[in-house]
């Protein structure tokens, strides 16, 4: 993912790649191009020309390197998830607040145009009162995924380890859709009940390859999230359905909605396509928004608090699966207003 982000940093209108770091010198050099590279994080963090860092390491290093970067006064984009556990995510968030640096957690797919459009439809009241949310995620991961991901660029066991990754299909893949759902609806989960298992993965894989979660949202809506890594023949089919008392939104191609409400230019009770959506490089768009917020001394639109909220959903889902009972989603700790705390770069 580091390579894709390096490209996005080069392409965004308001960011510049000034340095890269990887313990593997070859990878650091490849990423850097003309820029400075190092194998030591301290050397990168000591540089005055580095305003912000983007952390795209295995999950268990996100908060460790993030806290180091915050203490060095660098603004931070960290890949999802924020940390392998909620406790570590909270420590990370607190360190950023203390240092007055901006933090954003890389749920960049909320910048997909259909997700922005769905949020606008909800704001316009298309759904009416939210009743139900369904998310299904069908993946067909090859056994090699657990040793080298989808790119085969780096060989490592972190994706198979519960301690290092924090989990399987839910935290690694579906967490993007969790952020999308939370962003579109602007509401949190309150309670979840989950079942998870390792049903068809190579020996040694500790993280779930199937998970089913029943959940309750603020306001009483009921949700159902299901994901699997062994969907033969239907790889990468991911759908979100939002149901309200006045309409439905389906985030599955073709993206569409129906509303019973009278709205300007929208016939009631009929399905409507989202229409022509712009082509968007979500990673570049995300970084441009982040940099813009930092330059203006504002909290990024996709904030550390957002990342923490998704971490709380994930933690409740995994705890419920472990304990075999419903689990309440932990509300965020009291923190100083992030808006006031972010230092302008």
Ligand X SMILES: NC(=O)c1ccc[n+]([C@@H]2O[C@H](COP(=O)([O-])OP(=O)(O)OC[C@H]3O[C@@H](n4cnc5c(N)ncnc54)[C@H](O)[C@@H]3O)[C@@H](O)[C@H]2O)c1
Binding site for ligand X (CB under 6 A): 1-2, 21-24, 27, 41, 56-59, 61, 65, 79-80, 106, 108, 149, 153-154, 156, 172
* CB of 59 or CB of 320, closer to ligand X: 59
Rounded least distance, CB 163 to ligand X, Å: 14
Rounded least distance, CB 273 to ligand X, Å: 26
DSSP 191-260: EEEEEEE--S--TT--S-SEEEEEEEETTS-EEEEEEESB-TT-TTEEEEEEEESSEEEEESSSPEEEES
- In angstroms, the CA 132 to CA 134 distance is 7
- Residue 272, helix vs strand vs coil: strand
- Residue 79, helix vs strand vs coil: coil
* CB of 167 or CB of 338, closer to ligand X: 167
Q: How many CB atoms lie within 10 A of CB 282?
A: 17
* CB of 56 or CB of 316, closer to ligand X: 56
Give the residue among 80, 56, 234 at the shortest CA–CA distance from 153: 56
Rounded least distance, CB 284 to ligand X, Å: 13
Residue 80 near residue 302 (C-beta atoms within 8 A): no
Rounded least distance, CB 193 to ligand X, Å: 25
End-to-end CA distance of the chain: 25
Q: How many CB atoms lie within 10 A of CB 267?
A: 11
Mode of pairing for the β-strands spanning 130-138 and 237-244 = antiparallel
Rounded least distance, CB 338 to ligand X, Å: 22
- In angstroms, the CA 208 to CA 169 distance is 6
Rounded least distance, CB 149 to ligand X, Å: 4
- In angstroms, the CA 271 to CA 240 distance is 16
Rounded least distance, CB 220 to ligand X, Å: 32
Give the residue among 250, 193, 196 at the shortest CA–CA distance from 224: 193
* CB of 166 or CB of 244, closer to ligand X: 166
For 286, residues 6+ apart whose C-beta sits below 8 A from its C-beta are 8, 104, 106, 108, 111, 302
Rounded least distance, CB 258 to ligand X, Å: 30
Rounded least distance, CB 117 to ligand X, Å: 20
* CB of 28 or CB of 121, closer to ligand X: 28
* CB of 97 or CB of 110, closer to ligand X: 110
- In angstroms, the CA 188 to CA 319 distance is 17
- In angstroms, the CA 79 to CA 60 distance is 11
């Amino acid at each position: 993912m580091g390579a894709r982000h390096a490209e996005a940093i080069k392409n965004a209108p308001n960011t510049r790649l000034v340095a890269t770091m990887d313990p593997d010198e070859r990878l650091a050099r490849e990423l850097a191009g003309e820029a400075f590279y190092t194998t030591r994080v301290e050397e990168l963090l000591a540089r005055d020309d580095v305003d912000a860092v983007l952390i795209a390491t295995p999950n268990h290093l996100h908060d460790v390197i993030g806290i180091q970067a915050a203490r060095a006064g660098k603004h931070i984009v960290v890949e999802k998830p924020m940390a392998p556990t909620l406790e570590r995510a909270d420590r990370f968030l607190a360190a950023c607040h203390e240092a007055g640096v901006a933090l954003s957690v890389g749920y960049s797919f909320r910048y997909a145009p259909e997700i922005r459009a769905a949020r606008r439809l909800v704001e316009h009241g298309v759904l009416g009162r939210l009743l139900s949310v369904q998310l299904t995620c069908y993946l067909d991961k090859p056994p090699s995924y657990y040793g080298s991901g989808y790119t085969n660029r780096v060989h490592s066991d972190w994706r198979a380890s519960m301690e290092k990754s924090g989990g399987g299909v839910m935290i690694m893949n579906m967490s993007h859709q969790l952020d999308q759902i939370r962003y579109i609806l602007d509401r949190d989960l309150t309670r979840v009940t989950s079942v998870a298992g390792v049903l068809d993965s190579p020996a040694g894989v500790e993280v779930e390859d199937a998970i089913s979660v029943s959940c309750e949202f603020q306001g009483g809506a009921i949700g159902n999230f299901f994901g699997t890594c062994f969907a033969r023949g239907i790889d990468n089919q991911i759908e979100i359905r939002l149901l309200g008392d006045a309409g439905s939104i389906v985030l599955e191609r073709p993206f569409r909605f129906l509303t019973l409400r009278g709205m300007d230019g929208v016939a009631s009770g009929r399905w409507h396509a989202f229409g022509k959506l712009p082509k968007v490089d979500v990673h570049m768009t995300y970084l441009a928004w982040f940099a813009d917020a930092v330059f203006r001394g504002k909290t990024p639109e996709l904030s550390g608090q957002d990342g923490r909220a998704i971490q709380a959903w994930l933690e409740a889902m995994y705890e419920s699966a472990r304990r075999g009972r419903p689990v309440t989603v932990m509300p965020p700790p009291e923190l100083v207003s992030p808006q006031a705390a972010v230092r302008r770069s």
